[in-house]
Homo-oligomer: A and B are copies of this chain.
Amino acid sequence: MRPEDGEAEAAAGAGLDADRERLARTSTAERVADILRDRITDGYFRPGTQLIEEKVTDALGISRNTLREAFQLLAHERLLVRRPNRGVFVREITATDVVDIYRARRLLQCAAVRTVTRSPVGLDAAECAVSDAEAAARRGAWDQVGTADVRFHQAITALGGSRRVDELMRSIGAELRLVFHTMTDTRGFHEPYLSANRRILDLLRAGDGPEAERLLTAYLNDAEAALLAHLQGPA
């Protein structure tokens, strides 16, 4: 009955479902959100910074209403915080956030690892992320090591095979990058995990889920403790 349901399979339009999203044009608010998201995740807007509506609308040449739609989008992604009648600020991650984030990661990532079988599939993205991290480390680009690390763990989570879970993990990854931007010694934080991630990947490829899970848990506990120490210290 309805054109968008399942009738396409029968005719010549078979297998085009995956191309649907490429066809979707984005609204102005979404494009604005994309720009701001990039600026936040790459550290141009530091956590705590206020984004004043008038300034941004002038700089981007858009109307205030459109910008507010973009703000709301990013607030929903936890990259911005709206304080009513005071404005929007780049999110500042607290210690309780870190605790919750790592609790979520332990649940999500361990559950995902537990689904891998003897003949693991879909490890290409993880492999790519680990290689990128190692390459960035050789260049001394430790912030890029951080983003590659995030990508690696998103790839691990993706083994669970749920888009909804992946989306949550993507949001968590963005929050983590927010913390990274507040750190001074990025090398000291990221360097130990290069080999840890590589080992986890090898174990997964060998189909040794339980041991991979053990290493992953150790990594998560260690990283959580390091982040908490960082957040408690300079406060």
Contacts A69-B72, A84-B24, A111-B107 given; does A168 touch B172 at CB 8 Å: no
Closest B residue, CB atoms, query A82: B27
Known: A24-B84, A84-B27, A110-B111. A161 touches B103 (CB 8 A): yes
B160 near A164 (CB under 8 angstroms)? no
Is B162 in contact with A103, judged by CB distance below 8 angstroms?
yes
With both beta carbons as reference points, the residue of chain B lying nearest to A17 in the complex is identified as: B96
A68: B residues at CB distance < 8 A: 69
Smallest CB gap from A24: residue in B: B84
A4 to chain B, nearest CB (A): 9
B84, B107, B115: the one within 8 Å of A112 (CB): B107
Q: Are A104 and B165 in contact (CB under 8 A)?
A: yes
Dominant SS at the A interface?
helix
- What CA separation (Å) do A112 and B115 show in the bound complex? 15
Per-residue contact bits, chain A 87-126, to B (CB 8 Å; 1 contact, 0 not): 0000000000000110110011011100100000000000
Q: Quick one: which of B27, B76, B107, B161 contacts A73, CB cutoff 8 A?
A: B76
When all copies of this chain in the complex are counted, the total is: 2
The 8 A CB mask of A54-97 against B (1 = contact, 0 = none) is: 00000000000100110011001000000010000000000000
- Bound CA span A108–B110, Å: 10
- Evaluate contact between B72 and A104: CB separation under 8 angstroms: no
- Docked Cα-Cα span, A115 to B106, in Å, equals 10
Check if A12 is an interface residue, CB within 8 A of chain B. no
Q: In the complex the two chains form, what is the Cα distance from A112 to B69 in whole Å?
A: 35
**Bound Cα distance A34, B73 (Å):** 17
Shortest beta-carbon distance from A119 to chain B in Å: 19
Interface string of A13-39 (1 = CB under 8 A from B): 000000000001101010000000000
Point out the residues of chain B lying under 8 angstroms from A73, CB to CB. 72, 76
- A68 CB, nearest partner CB in chain B, Å: 7
Assess the A164–B101 pair: CB atoms within 8 A.
Answer: yes
- Name A residues whose Cβ lies closer than 8 Å to a Cβ of B: 5-6, 24-25, 27, 29, 65, 68-69, 72-73, 76, 84, 100-101, 103-104, 107-108, 110-112, 115, 160-165, 168, 171-172, 235
